[in-house]
């Protein structure tokens, strides 16, 4: 028998049974907190891999504040030929998985760069989210410092098919963050698939290097409408935080910022965006934290890449 709120109003219902049924009803209704997100016109797709675990917590926490359905696709580093490797060594933390609504883990891939895993994340994400009108696609080391401005940013796409955080040019677009119509996203991943699989197709289209160039070529050949946001776009992998996406939603590429600051002798992003246990030793979390706690520039002199 289904549990309904009306049934619990029965005055003849024994109190012990009422308590038990109320607990079950509460659990059923708690689903609405995430399930009702399917009625919104936009969903979020995060395409990530274990190398971004140091930034995932900050990324997912900021994205969850948008209130949209979040699908999370994750590259599978666990080779079935290696019996001694444990999934737990590579998986995201529970507190991260608790904040997403759909988790997608493809088959282990032996491809040794980011292009193939990114394609599979995009492909299964596009198929899973095709019931939404739009998809906000981003990666697991990007954060939104001002998620409250997302609706204003979203409005800028207008009648366009895709709008990226930039910079865009004739050869490639930024794959770090973009908003795309779901039906268009399916076209984009099909375009990539036709030039990836089987391997002879990859050999045939070697001029298309990364996902950025493949998506840009697809936009051109499919005659899609790409929207360039007003003002300067947010550059990828740089310290120069400016542009429409940064102004409206505070978009930041934390891994890119950290690496750029380390190599160029600049101030790193705050350690609140970083989990020490997953950060590469080369970036020395303790010195990053010490700088932000003391604001002593002499600390950074010992941190910068020599």
pLDDT means per 10 residues, the chain with 306 residues, are 82 90 91 94 97 97 98 92 84 94 93 87 97 97 96 96 88 90 98 93 87 92 88 55 87 93 94 96 96 96 88
What's the pLDDT score for residue 181? 98
* Cα diameter, the chain: 78
Residues 6+ apart with CB under 8 A from 264: 239
Q: Does domain 33-253 have CATH number 3.90.550.10?
A: yes
Return the pLDDT at 99: 95
What's residue 304's pLDDT?
A: 95
Domain extents in the chain: 33-253, 255-303
3-state secondary structure of 271: helix
**Cα separation values, 69 from 31, 66, 72, 122, Å:** 13, 9, 10, 16
The per-residue b/e assignment along 199-218, b for 16 or more CB within 10 angstroms, e otherwise, is: eeeeeeeeebeebbbbbbbb
What is the predicted pLDDT for the residue at 4?
86
* pLDDT confidence of residue 1: 63
């Amino acid at each position: 028998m289904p549990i309904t709120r009306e049934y619990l109003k029965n005055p003849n219902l024994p109190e012990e049974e009422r308590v038990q049924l109320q607990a079950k009803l509460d659990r059923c209704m708690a689903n609405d907190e995430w399930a009702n997100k399917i009625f919104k016109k936009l969903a979020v797709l995060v395409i990530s891999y274990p190398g971004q675990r140091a930034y995932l917590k900050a990324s997912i926490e900021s994205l969850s504040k948008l209130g949209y359905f979040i699908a999370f696709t994750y590259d599978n580093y666990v080779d079935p030929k290696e019996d001694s490797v444990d999934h737990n060594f590579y998986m995201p933390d529970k507190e991260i998985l608790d904040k997403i609504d759909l988790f997608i883990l493809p088959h282990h891939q032996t491809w040794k760069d980011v292009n193939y895993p990114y394609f599979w994340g995009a492909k299964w994400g596009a198929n899973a989210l095709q019931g939404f009108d739009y998809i906000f696609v981003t990666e697991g080391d990007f954060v939104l410092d001002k998620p409250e401005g997302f609706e204003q940013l979203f409005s800028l796409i207008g009648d366009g098919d895709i709008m990226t955080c930039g910079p865009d040019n004739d050869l490639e677009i930024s794959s770090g963050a973009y908003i795309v119509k779901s039906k268009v996203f399916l076209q984009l991943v099909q375009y990539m698939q036709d030039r990836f699989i089987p391997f002879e197709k990859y050999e045939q289209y070697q001029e298309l290097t990364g996902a950025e160039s493949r998506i840009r070529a697809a936009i051109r050949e499919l005659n899609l409408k790409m929207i360039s946001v007003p003002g300067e776009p947010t550059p990828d992998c740089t310290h120069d935080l400016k542009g429409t996406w940064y102004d409206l939603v505070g978009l930041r590429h934390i891994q890119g910022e950290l690496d750029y600051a380390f190599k160029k002798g600049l101030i790193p992003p705050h350690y609140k965006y970083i989990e020490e246990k997953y950060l590469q030793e080369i970036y020395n979390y303790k010195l990053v934290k010490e700088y932000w706690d003391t604001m002593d520039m002499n600390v950074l002199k010992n941190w910068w890449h020599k």
